[in-house]
């Protein structure tokens, strides 16, 4: 995979369901195959459409981009997320007028570092919100890599046009110590002189310096990692712990997941 890959919505093609997925949801691939360290698919639901996830060999995160689905009797609206850990299974069913659901996974399967076997549902009203993280930026935490049984990370950000100042533009180039996928959920992403609309995915390899800015309407996006983030490294060499920064903003709070009973869920596990 290129160090930075940009995939607009209009470039994604219909593909078969990923390995260990089944059902009748139409699926398109943003990032897949052996050259992409992280995989991203989008699944189209109508009312009653079924998507069964698992049991997979690596943890899978799903994000409801538009519409609504049902999972284990819970209605999950746009902005909700969930994790199906390795060894677990979950059925999603299209509700209302349907939905568009993103699924993220690591491409490589390896010996898991945590037990897995559980499902975590996070309705949008349970997402921890952080208004005013810095000037012009709001945040939200979905999965913080601190679960005893999985390492998945997903946060969201909203960059308003007020973010754009000479200082912020100068500070924006940075890198991360792990591969990531950024998905634009609303607004526009400015990369150089080009604007990319909602539905664009940006894949960035570990230790790659990059930057983007909000378009004239601002930008909202989710950011996925398959494991716990390390440092943010700025172009001037300054390093900051990403997890420590989020913990400071969240004041020690953690997301409050719904954990439905499932045959593969360890009966004695406590989260």
Mean pLDDT of the chain: 91
Name which of 122, 72, 70 is nearest 96 in CA terms: 70
Are 232 and 163 in contact, with CB atoms under 8 Å apart? no
- The pTM of the full predicted model, rounded to 2 decimals, is 0.93
- Give the pLDDT of residue 236: 86
Q: In the chain, pLDDT over 70 holds for what percent of residues?
A: 92
- Give the pLDDT of residue 11: 96
- Spell out the domains of the chain, with CATH numbers in brackets: 12-126 (2.60.120.10), 129-250 (2.60.120.10)
The SS3 assignment for 10 reads helix
- Give the pLDDT of residue 165: 79
- Give the pLDDT of residue 261: 63
The answer for 34, left when phi > 0, alpha when psi is -120 to 50, beta otherwise, is: alpha
Are 52 and 91 in contact, with CB atoms under 8 Å apart? yes
Which position has the higher pLDDT, 218 or 170?
Answer: 218
Using only the alpha carbons of the chain, give its radius of gyration: 18
- Give the pLDDT of residue 267: 33
pLDDT at 200 over 70: yes
- Give the pLDDT of residue 170: 60
- Give the pLDDT of residue 90: 97
Under the banding of pLDDT at 50, 70 and 90, the label for residue 168 is: low
Retrieve residue 16's tokens.
């078969």
Retrieve residue 224's tokens.
């996925």
Are 63 and 71 in contact, with CB atoms under 8 Å apart? no
- pLDDT tens digit string along 45-72? 999 999 999 999 999 999 999 999 999 9
- pLDDT tens digit string along 77-90? 999 999 999 999 99
- pLDDT tens digit string along 218-265? 999 999 999 999 999 998 889 999 999 999 999 999 999 999 864 433
Under the banding of pLDDT at 50, 70 and 90, the label for residue 210 is: very high
- Give the pLDDT of residue 164: 76
- Give the pLDDT of residue 268: 33
CA dist 13 and 149 (Å) reads 33
- C-alpha count within 13 angstroms, C-beta hemisphere, residue 72: 18
């Amino acid at each position: 995979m290129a160090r930075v890959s940009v995939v607009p919505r209009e470039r994604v093609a219909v593909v078969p369901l990923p390995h260990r997925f089944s059902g009748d949801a139409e699926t398109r691939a943003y990032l897949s195959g052996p050259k992409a360290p992280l995989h991203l698919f989008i699944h189209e639901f109508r009312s009653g459409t079924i998507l069964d996830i698992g049991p997979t060999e690596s943890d899978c995160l799903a994000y409801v981009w538009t519409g609504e689905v049902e999972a284990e009797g819970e209605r999950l609206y746009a902005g909700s997320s969930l994790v199906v850990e390795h060894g677990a299974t979950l059925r999603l069913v299209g509700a209302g007028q349907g939905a568009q659901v993103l699924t993220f996974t690591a491409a490589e399967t390896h010996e898991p570092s945590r037990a897995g076997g559980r499902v975590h549902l996070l309705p949008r009203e349970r997402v921890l919100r952080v208004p005013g993280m810095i000037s012009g930026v709001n945040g939200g935490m979905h999965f913080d890599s601190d679960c005893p049984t999985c390492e998945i990370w997903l946060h969201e950000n909203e960059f308003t046009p007020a973010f754009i100042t000479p200082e912020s533009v100068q500070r924006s180039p940075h890198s991360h110590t792990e591969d990531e996928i950024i998905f634009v959920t609303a607004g526009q992403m400015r990369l150089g002189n080009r604007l990319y609309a909602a539905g664009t995915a940006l894949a960035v390899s570990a230790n790659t310096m990059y930057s983007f800015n909000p378009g004239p309407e601002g930008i909202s996006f989710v950011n996925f990692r398959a494991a716990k983030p390390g440092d943010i490294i700025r172009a001037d060499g300054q390093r900051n712990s990403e997890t420590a920064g989020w913990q400071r903003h969240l004041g020690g709070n953690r997301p409050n997941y719904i954990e439905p009973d499932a045959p593969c869920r360890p009966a004695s596990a406590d989260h």
